[in-house]
Amino acid sequence: MTNAQAYNAMIAPEKLLSVSNLVDATIEDLTAAGEAVENAYGERASLVKAIVQLEGAIQLTEAEAFMQIDEKNGVIVDDKPVKLANSEMRDMYRRYVSRDLRKELTEKQADLKEIEIHIFKAKERYDESKVVADMVIAKAYVQANLLKFLAGRD
Protein backbone atom coordinates (compact mmCIF):
# COMPACT_ATOMS: atom_id res chain seq x y z
CA MET A 1 0.00 0.00 0.00
CA THR A 2 1.44 3.35 -1.01
CA ASN A 3 1.30 6.50 1.08
CA ALA A 4 -1.34 7.96 -1.24
CA GLN A 5 -3.54 4.90 -0.79
CA ALA A 6 -3.10 5.03 2.99
CA TYR A 7 -3.88 8.75 3.04
CA ASN A 8 -6.94 8.25 0.87
CA ALA A 9 -8.21 5.54 3.19
CA MET A 10 -8.06 8.03 6.08
CA ILE A 11 -9.46 11.11 4.34
CA ALA A 12 -11.88 9.73 1.79
CA PRO A 13 -15.10 11.78 1.88
CA GLU A 14 -17.09 8.91 3.39
CA LYS A 15 -14.42 8.52 6.13
CA LEU A 16 -14.53 12.24 6.93
CA LEU A 17 -18.33 12.12 7.06
CA SER A 18 -18.20 9.00 9.22
CA VAL A 19 -15.93 10.65 11.78
CA SER A 20 -18.04 13.82 11.70
CA ASN A 21 -21.16 11.75 12.44
CA LEU A 22 -19.27 9.88 15.13
CA VAL A 23 -18.29 13.17 16.78
CA ASP A 24 -21.94 14.28 16.80
CA ALA A 25 -23.13 10.95 18.23
CA THR A 26 -20.42 11.00 20.87
CA ILE A 27 -21.38 14.50 21.95
CA GLU A 28 -25.01 13.43 22.28
CA ASP A 29 -24.03 10.32 24.25
CA LEU A 30 -21.74 12.24 26.57
CA THR A 31 -24.38 14.92 27.13
CA ALA A 32 -27.04 12.30 27.91
CA ALA A 33 -24.72 10.51 30.32
CA GLY A 34 -23.91 13.79 32.07
CA GLU A 35 -27.60 14.65 32.37
CA ALA A 36 -28.31 11.22 33.85
CA VAL A 37 -25.69 11.82 36.54
CA GLU A 38 -27.09 15.28 37.26
CA ASN A 39 -30.68 14.01 37.44
CA ALA A 40 -29.71 11.18 39.77
CA TYR A 41 -28.00 13.65 42.11
CA GLY A 42 -31.12 15.83 42.01
CA GLU A 43 -33.29 12.88 43.00
CA ARG A 44 -30.82 12.00 45.74
CA ALA A 45 -30.95 15.52 47.14
CA SER A 46 -34.76 15.44 47.26
CA LEU A 47 -34.75 12.09 49.04
CA VAL A 48 -32.13 13.16 51.56
CA LYS A 49 -34.26 16.23 52.35
CA ALA A 50 -37.36 14.05 52.78
CA ILE A 51 -35.45 11.65 55.04
CA VAL A 52 -34.22 14.48 57.27
CA GLN A 53 -37.77 15.84 57.49
CA LEU A 54 -39.12 12.40 58.40
CA GLU A 55 -36.48 11.95 61.08
CA GLY A 56 -37.55 15.28 62.56
CA ALA A 57 -41.22 14.31 62.40
CA ILE A 58 -40.43 11.01 64.15
CA GLN A 59 -38.64 12.84 66.95
CA LEU A 60 -41.56 15.24 67.39
CA THR A 61 -44.12 12.44 67.33
CA GLU A 62 -42.16 10.45 69.90
CA ALA A 63 -41.72 13.54 72.10
CA GLU A 64 -45.46 14.19 71.96
CA ALA A 65 -46.11 10.54 72.85
CA PHE A 66 -43.73 10.84 75.80
CA MET A 67 -45.75 13.82 77.02
CA GLN A 68 -48.88 11.62 77.06
CA ILE A 69 -47.39 9.31 79.73
CA ASP A 70 -49.04 10.08 83.07
CA GLU A 71 -47.38 10.16 86.46
CA LYS A 72 -48.11 6.44 86.98
CA ASN A 73 -46.37 5.53 83.71
CA GLY A 74 -49.69 4.84 81.99
CA VAL A 75 -50.90 5.78 78.53
CA ILE A 76 -53.88 5.08 76.35
CA VAL A 77 -53.00 2.93 73.31
CA ASP A 78 -55.79 2.15 70.86
CA ASP A 79 -58.38 3.20 73.46
CA LYS A 80 -56.90 0.84 76.05
CA PRO A 81 -54.96 1.84 79.14
CA VAL A 82 -51.41 0.48 79.14
CA LYS A 83 -48.88 0.63 81.96
CA LEU A 84 -45.32 1.24 80.79
CA ALA A 85 -43.58 -0.65 83.57
CA ASN A 86 -39.98 -0.37 82.30
CA SER A 87 -37.77 1.32 79.77
CA GLU A 88 -38.25 -1.51 77.27
CA MET A 89 -42.01 -0.98 77.27
CA ARG A 90 -41.55 2.80 76.95
CA ASP A 91 -39.26 2.21 73.99
CA MET A 92 -41.83 -0.11 72.37
CA TYR A 93 -44.50 2.56 72.95
CA ARG A 94 -42.24 5.17 71.37
CA ARG A 95 -41.73 3.00 68.27
CA TYR A 96 -45.43 2.16 68.15
CA VAL A 97 -46.59 5.78 67.99
CA SER A 98 -44.10 6.59 65.24
CA ARG A 99 -44.57 3.34 63.27
CA ASP A 100 -46.16 4.93 60.18
CA LEU A 101 -43.46 7.56 59.95
CA ARG A 102 -40.78 4.93 60.53
CA LYS A 103 -42.23 2.80 57.75
CA GLU A 104 -42.17 5.78 55.40
CA LEU A 105 -38.60 6.54 56.50
CA THR A 106 -37.51 2.98 55.74
CA GLU A 107 -39.07 3.20 52.27
CA LYS A 108 -37.29 6.49 51.59
CA GLN A 109 -33.99 5.04 52.79
CA ALA A 110 -34.46 2.08 50.43
CA ASP A 111 -35.21 4.51 47.59
CA LEU A 112 -32.05 6.41 48.49
CA LYS A 113 -29.97 3.23 48.23
CA GLU A 114 -31.52 2.54 44.83
CA ILE A 115 -30.69 6.06 43.63
CA GLU A 116 -27.13 5.71 44.90
CA ILE A 117 -26.83 2.63 42.67
CA HIS A 118 -28.25 4.66 39.76
CA ILE A 119 -25.67 7.37 40.47
CA PHE A 120 -22.89 4.79 40.41
CA LYS A 121 -24.13 3.35 37.11
CA ALA A 122 -24.65 6.80 35.58
CA LYS A 123 -21.13 7.88 36.58
CA GLU A 124 -19.76 4.67 35.11
CA ARG A 125 -21.64 5.33 31.87
CA TYR A 126 -20.34 8.90 31.80
CA ASP A 127 -16.76 7.70 32.30
CA GLU A 128 -17.17 5.19 29.47
CA SER A 129 -18.59 7.92 27.23
CA LYS A 130 -15.65 10.15 28.08
CA VAL A 131 -13.17 7.43 27.06
CA VAL A 132 -15.01 6.93 23.77
CA ALA A 133 -15.08 10.69 23.21
CA ASP A 134 -11.33 10.86 23.74
CA MET A 135 -10.82 8.15 21.11
CA VAL A 136 -13.10 9.90 18.63
CA ILE A 137 -11.24 13.17 19.24
CA ALA A 138 -7.95 11.39 18.53
CA LYS A 139 -9.29 9.98 15.27
CA ALA A 140 -10.61 13.38 14.17
CA TYR A 141 -7.29 14.95 15.14
CA VAL A 142 -5.38 12.50 12.95
CA GLN A 143 -7.67 13.24 10.00
CA ALA A 144 -7.41 16.99 10.50
CA ASN A 145 -3.63 16.93 10.69
CA LEU A 146 -3.38 14.70 7.63
CA LEU A 147 -5.55 17.14 5.70
CA LYS A 148 -3.34 20.03 6.88
CA PHE A 149 -0.25 18.12 5.83
CA LEU A 150 -1.63 17.30 2.42
CA ALA A 151 -2.90 20.84 1.89
CA GLY A 152 0.64 22.15 2.39
CA ARG A 153 2.11 19.86 -0.29
CA ASP A 154 2.29 20.83 -3.90
Question: pLDDT truncated to tens, each residue of the chain (154 aa)?
Answer: 677 777 777 888 888 889 899 999 999 999 999 999 999 999 999 999 999 999 999 999 999 998 988 888 889 888 898 898 898 998 899 999 999 999 999 999 999 999 999 999 999 999 999 999 999 999 999 888 988 888 887 5
Rounded Cα–Cα distance for residues 153 and 146 (Å): 11
Neighbours of 129 (CB within 10 A): 20
Neighbours of 128 (CB within 10 A): 13
What is the structure's pLDDT at 151? 83
Question: If we measure between CA atoms, which residue out of 41, 40, 58, 148 comes closest to residue 106?
Answer: 58
What is the SS3 assignment for the chain?
Answer: CCHHHHHHHHHCHHHHHHHHHHHHHHHHHHHHHHHHHHHHHHHHHHHHHHHHHHHHHHHHHHHHHHHCCCCCCEEEECCEEEECCCHHHHHHHHHHHCHHHHHHHHHHHHHHHHHHHHHHHHHHHHHHHHHHHHHHHHHHHHHHHHHHHHHCCC
Is the whole model's pTM more than 0.75, yes or no?
Answer: no
What is the structure's pLDDT at 154? 52
What is the structure's pLDDT at 1? 66
Rounded Cα–Cα distance for residues 132 and 10 (Å): 19
What is the structure's pLDDT at 30? 94
